[in-house]
């Protein structure tokens, strides 16, 4: 594998793409350490140290920003506004006929949807930036910190506007950097930046576990957690690569003097067809009640119940509801992203059929049947992987934001596999030799 990396860097155009991608990553990481104007950096660092390992409601967003959210830096919002905008537009494509028509127009329609995604990203960045500034000014960003109310000393409206504009501009720059990687680098730019953001939190989180351990200076806990992490990575790789291949046969057709078709192929249906989307949906939905309580400051009975049962990741109601939401969103996302009727119609149009299944409606029903059966283990796998940090690693100082948790591992493995496949395909085009041997 190391020799394959060497061959990748020996290929001039591939080396240029790899170095360009690394350069963009360096710029992105620099932006996550530049504080925005109007923030008392010393007080922020003191609160970050006090909140280490207990990031509360903002832990997921902080993980996606590579730790920049709690640092309140230029790239504090990271790529979360873009991810949210992409998911919203993907869902609206099913609801709004105009967006569905654009999706079917090919490259021109995709470019238009991408433009809408950019506009929505900026709007969400303004909204989230305003919420973050308000939370920081009220002291709710770091609950329990003695200087949480002094993070933003200047309460003037002009200072607030400058802070929101700075974070919005940072989000626009992050979006531009991701598109640069997609166009001129290796892999999907947004996925690469997400990968880097999560990977950047690994060293500090692992070292915190070692520092908090009691056995042999924490090294035994550190070793056990690393072992569990490797097992989880292997499990995720196995399931992410698993797929059900439905055979498809195309009949021969004579067009003029030439014969077309007569080939055999297959439809790959992944066990985890929904990817990481259900976990993000479920996490975001569970955070909404707790955020409402935190902003309202209410001490009513319903607010106390939410704080004890939904805001606490180790509470039984939170665990059960989180698991059920992941299973529900897995089926929901698969239902809107894969249309068996459309696939069956396309197969019938080009003379394709599944052996033993009639073309048309019976094919669509068969695809729906298979998809539902493989979505069940996929959704259960997502739910169990996402609950591992809470249920199995709580004794080692881990929480829902532990680096070997479900969300982070799913993204790390998924993006890593996809990037390796792209490098492998480019190497095969040039050297006819695979990346992995």
pLDDT in tens, 369-386: 999 999 999 899 888 888
Q: Do 82 and 27 share a structural domain?
A: yes
Across the range 79-107, mean pLDDT stands at 83
Residue labelled with tokens 């991408």: 114
- Number of other CB atoms surrounding residue 49 within 10 Å: 9
Q: Are residues 115 and 260 in the same domain?
A: no
- Asked whether residue 426 carries a pLDDT value surpassing 70, the answer given is yes
Number of C-beta neighbours around residue 323 at 10 A? 18
Mean pLDDT for 123-138 is 86
Phi, psi of 387 (to 5 degrees): -95, -5
Asked if the structure places residue 434 within a domain, the reply is no
User: What pTM does this model have?
Assistant: 0.79
Q: What is the pLDDT of residues 249-278, one digit of tens each?
A: 877 766 666 666 567 888 888 888 888 788
What is the average pLDDT across 299-306?
77
- The answer to whether position 44 is within a domain reads yes
Cβ partners under 8 Å of residue 224, min gap 6: 396
Question: Is it the case that residue 397 has pLDDT exceeding 80?
Answer: no
In angstroms, the CA 383 to CA 380 distance is 5
Q: Is residue 270 part of a domain?
A: yes
Q: Is 405 left (phi over 0), alpha (psi -120 to 50) or beta?
A: beta
Which of residues 393 and 125 earns the better pLDDT score? Answer: 125
Q: What are phi and psi of 75, to 5 degrees?
A: -100, 35
What is the residue whose two structure tokens read 């923030």? 39
Domain range for 325 is 233-404
| Same-domain status, 192 and 270 | no
Higher-pLDDT residue of 328, 147: 328
Looking at the predicted structure, is the pLDDT value of residue 101 above 70? Answer: yes
- For the chain, the domain total comes to 2
Residues 90 and 184 in one domain: yes
**How many percent of the chain have pLDDT more than 70?**
82
Residues 6-65 have pLDDT tens digits of 777 777 888 888 899 999 999 998 888 888 888 888 888 777 776 654 455 566 667 777
Same-domain status, 68 and 167: yes
Q: Is the pLDDT of residue 173 over 90?
A: yes
Average pLDDT over residues 167-193: 89
Whether the Cβ atoms of residue 379 and residue 331 lie closer than 8 Å to each other = yes
Asked if the structure places residue 279 within a domain, the reply is: yes
**How confident is the model over 316-353, as pLDDT tens digits?**
788 888 889 889 988 988 888 888 888 888 888 877 88
Supply the mean pLDDT for the chain: 80
186 & 242 share domain: no
Question: What is the domain-level CATH number for residue 270?
Answer: 1.10.3370.10
Distance CA 290, CA 143 (A): 13
Could you tell me where the DSSP H helices lie in 213-339? 219-241, 277-296, 301-309, 316-337
Minimum mean pLDDT among 2-11, 69-78, 108-117: which range?
2-11
What pLDDT does residue 298 have?
A: 67
Given pLDDT bands bounded at 50, 70 and 90, which one contains residue 304? confident
Domain assignment present for residue 409? The answer is no
Per-residue model confidence (pLDDT) at position 59: 64
Q: Is 332 a member of any domain?
A: yes
Chosen domain end from 200, 218, 244? 200
Q: Is the pLDDT of residue 223 over 50?
A: yes
Q: Is 88 exposed, middle or buried (0-12, 13-18, 19+ CB in 10 A)?
A: middle
Same domain flag for 41 and 176: yes
Same domain, 361 and 246: yes
**Do 5 and 153 have their domain in common?**
yes
> What is the rounded distance in angstroms from the CA atom of residue 99 to the CA atom of residue 314?
40
Give me the pLDDT at residue 401, please.
47
Same-domain check for residues 187 and 307 = no
Examine the domain organization and report whether 171 and 266 are in the same domain.
no
- Is 432 within a domain? no
**178 and 76 both lie in a single domain:** yes
The answer to whether position 431 is within a domain reads: no
Torsion angle of alpha carbons 221, 225, 226, 228, nearest 10°?
A: 140
């Amino acid at each position: 594998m190391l020799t394959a990396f060497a061959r990748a860097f020996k290929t001039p155009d591939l080396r240029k793409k790899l170095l360009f991608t690394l350069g963009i990553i360096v710029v992105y990481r620099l932006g996550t350490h530049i504080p925005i104007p109007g923030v008392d950096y010393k007080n922020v660092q003191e609160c970050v140290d006090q909140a280490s390992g207990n990031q509360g409601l903002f832990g997921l967003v902080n993980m996606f920003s590579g730790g920049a959210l709690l640092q309140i830096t230029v790239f504090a919002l990271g790529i979360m506004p873009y991810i949210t905008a992409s998911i919203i537009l993907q869902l609206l494509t099913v609801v709004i006929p105009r967006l569905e028509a654009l999706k079917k127009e090919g490259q021109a329609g995709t470019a238009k949807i991408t433009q809408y995604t950019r506009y929505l990203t900026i709007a969400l960045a303004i909204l989230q930036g305003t919420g973050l500034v308000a939370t920081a000014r009220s002291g709710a960003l770091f609950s329990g910190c003695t200087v949480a109310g002094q993070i933003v000393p200047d309460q003037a409206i002009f200072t607030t506007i400058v802070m929101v504009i700075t974070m919005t501009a940072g989000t626009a720059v992050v979006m531009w950097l991701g598109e640069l990687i997609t166009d001129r680098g290796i892999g999907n730019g947004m996925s690469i930046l997400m990968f880097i953001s999560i990977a950047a939190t690994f060293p500090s989180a692992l070292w915190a576990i070692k520092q908090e351990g009691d056995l042999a200076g924490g090294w035994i806990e550190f070793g056990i957690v690393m072992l569990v992490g490797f097992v989880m990575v292997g499990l995720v790789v196995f399931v992410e690569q698993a797929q059900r291949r439905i055979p498809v046969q195309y009949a021969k057709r004579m067009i003029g003097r030439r014969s077309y078709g007569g080939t055999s192929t297959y439809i790959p249906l992944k066990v985890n067809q929904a990817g990481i989307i259900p976990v993000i949906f479920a996490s975001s939905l569970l955070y909404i009640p707790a955020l409402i309580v935190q902003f309202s400051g209410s001490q009513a009975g319903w607010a106390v119940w939410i704080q004890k049962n939904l805001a606490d990741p180790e509470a039984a109601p939170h665990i059960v509801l989180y698991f059920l939401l992941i299973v529900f969103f897995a089926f929901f996302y698969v239902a809107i992203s894969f249309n068996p009727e459309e696939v069956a119609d396309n197969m019938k149009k080009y003379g394709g059929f599944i052996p033993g299944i009639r073309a048309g409606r019976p094919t669509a029903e068969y695809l729906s049947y298979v998809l539902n059966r493989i979505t069940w283990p996929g959704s259960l796998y997502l739910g169990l992987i996402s609950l591992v940090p809470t249920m199995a690693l709580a004794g080692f100082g881990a929480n829902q934001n532990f680096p070997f948790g479900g969300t982070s591992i799913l993204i790390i493995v998924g993006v890593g596999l996809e990037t390796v496949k792209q490098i492998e395909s480019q190497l095969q085009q040039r050297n006819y030799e695979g990346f992995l041997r």
